[in-house]
Amino acid sequence: MTYLKKIIVVASLVAASLGFSAASNATLITQDIIFDNGIDPAGVIGEITVNFDDNALGGKQDIFDFVSFSFMGEDVTETFVFEATVNNDDFFAGIEFLLFDVNAPGVSYIGIFETSSAADDNFLDVYTQPGFNFRDTGLISLSAATVVSEPTALALFSLALVGFSIRRKLKFI
């Protein structure tokens, strides 16, 4: 009888875990923004994190909002235009297209990045505020993508540990 109860518990945990995983299939992609104005050495000036639904069927997915976006350690405070595109078939490739017009404290950033474009076509313009005075321009690139799986990976791992412990206890009965 206790054996049957344990099987029912494990089956219900599996069902709950699968239901949870179907409800939230989201993946976070984080990449550094690298700036090269042709004068100073190129370096990381910002970071962007986007969230996309990895449940979507193949092809590309447009994203119109970000999880976090910062330049020079300051979070973006105002967004006028934001669009990013990722490939659902290879999200480890990271962001394939990025267009933005955003403000951080005291500074405006306007940029475009596309992996299929020549490097000279990927630019960033920087303006000071108030007055929208030109400050700098240069080329941008994105670092390798850091991909964080959906939170269900932890739930599935926990379920596997529970299953192993129940199996081990059943061996001793």
Residue 167: partners with Cβ closer than 8 Å, 6 or more residues away: none
Answer yes or no: do 118 and 106 share one domain: yes
Answer yes or no: do 87 and 171 share one domain: no
**Is the predicted pLDDT of residue 82 greater than 50, yes or no?**
yes
Overall domain count for the chain: 2
Full residue range of the structural domain in which residue 158 is found: 1-24+151-173
User: In this predicted structure, what is the pLDDT of residue 123?
Assistant: 93
Answer yes or no: do 90 and 173 share one domain: no
Answer yes or no: do 173 and 121 share one domain: no
Answer yes or no: do 36 and 92 share one domain: yes
Q: How far, rounded to the nearest angstrom, does the alpha carbon of residue 132 sit from its chain's CA centroid?
A: 30
Answer yes or no: do 60 and 144 share one domain: yes
Mean pLDDT (whole number) for 3-23: 59
User: In this predicted structure, what is the pLDDT of residue 23?
Assistant: 47
What percentage of the chain exceeds 70 in pLDDT? Answer: 75
In terms of C-beta density within 10 A (0-12 exposed, 13-18 middle, 19 or more buried), how is residue 109 classed? buried
- Average pLDDT of the chain is 82
Higher pLDDT, 1 or 2: 2
- Residues 42-70 have pLDDT tens digits of 899 999 999 887 666 678 888 999 999 99
Answer yes or no: do 116 and 169 share one domain: no
Answer yes or no: do 61 and 127 share one domain: yes
Answer yes or no: do 46 and 127 share one domain: yes
